[in-house]
Every structure is written in C-alpha cells, then in structure tokens.
Structure 1
Amino acid sequence: MLNATIELFAAPERQRARYIMSHGFFKKGEIAEMCVQHMGNGAEMTTPELAERVIVERDLEITDTALRNSLVFKVVQALRHAKRRTLVRMVEKRQGMCVWAAGDAGTLRVVAVKSMV
C-alpha cells in the first residue's frame, strides 16, 4: 500500500488516467440551472459546449481533459433530469452529440429568478 502511494507521486508520466469526482463541485441542480441560463435567448448548444461554459463559469482548468470529459457526462445527466421537468428540451442529435435548448418551464423559471433580483 505504501509503495503504491509512493508510485503515484514518483513517476507522473507513468500514472494511469485518474477519474475526477465532480459531484462535490456542484450543488444539486446547479449544473442544469447554469445550462438553462446559457441557453436563455433561444440558443441551441451541444453538450460539450455547455460543459465548457460550466467549466469557464466555475473558473476550473479548461485544459484538463479528464475534468472536461467528466463534466460532459455530468451535464448530460443533469439535462436529462431537467428535460423531465421541461426546463430544457433536446432538439436533435448531431454527430453523436445532443443539441439542447431551453424549455418552456426553464424560460419562465429564469425570468422569475431575474425579476426577483
């Protein structure tokens, strides 16, 4: 066990890919809410585009491929749940990527939040 721990830090070029646990970075529903705000004006965006916007908004390392891939899966999962609540809608699939747009409830929710401020 000690040798394995030392090996992790001794030779970074031989390290295996590590998985990023991104569930601790965000509150429940935060990813979907960020995505809905980015699609606010009728914009249609792919899942990777939305993940990149979330990374930039949270000031995370955009060049980290493992983090970006992890967040793409988090965005897909969050938007699928948001779709059930009609916050977003899936427009189509292009080249294996989902294209998303704000749903009816999502537009109303964002307007209601902005009017409260």
Structure 2
Amino acid sequence: MVERAAHKAYGAPAGGPGGPSGKVDPAVDSKLRKSANEFETQFLSQMLTPMFETVETDPMFGGGHGEEMFRSLLVNEYGKQMSSRGGFGIADSVYRELLRAQEANSHG
C-alpha cells in the first residue's frame, strides 16, 4: 500500500493536481481522468491480445469467426477489469501528463 501511494505521488506536480494553486475545474478533471483510464484500458487490451492469439481452441467446442469476435471482446473486457482494479499505474501517469498539457494551454 505504501509503495502504491509513493508510486502515485512520484512525479505529481507540487501542490497536488492542478499545480501549486491546486485548482482544477471538476469537469476538466473528470474528462482527464476518464481519458487516462480509457488509455490504460486500451493499452492493457493491446498487451493481452498477442497472448490470447497463441491459445489454441478446441475445434469441437470453438473456433471460427464467432470465437474470433468473442475473444477480442473478452480481451477488451479483461483490459477494462484490470484497469478498474488499479491497473499498472499507467492511467495515473497519463493523467498527470494530460493535466500538465492542460495547464500549459491555459497559461500560454
């Protein structure tokens, strides 16, 4: 738990989200969080895809076009579940970078 908190704090702007002032529009913050979480979900799904491509299917109970479609949906769902349960911290890093970019646009 301590490691996770330290990992989240690493690289965070001074004063927490929003920089030294700590002011972030809640609507913008929500959009940035959502985008970061969606990115992590897609990243994890793409990482899992090659692993599932190597799994052979039993021709008696699977295979074919239907299984290909189902498998891609299953892998996407695995990515969503992994991300929603904390993921690998990618969403936190992406969120910080999106926040920095948003701040740079608003100040410059």
TM-score scaled to structure 2, two decimals? 0.30
Larger RCO (CA within 8 A; separation ≥ 6): 2
Identify, as 1 or 2, the structure richer in strand: 1
**If the length of structure 1 is used for normalisation, what is the TM-score?**
0.28
Q: Structure 1 or 2: larger helix share?
A: 2
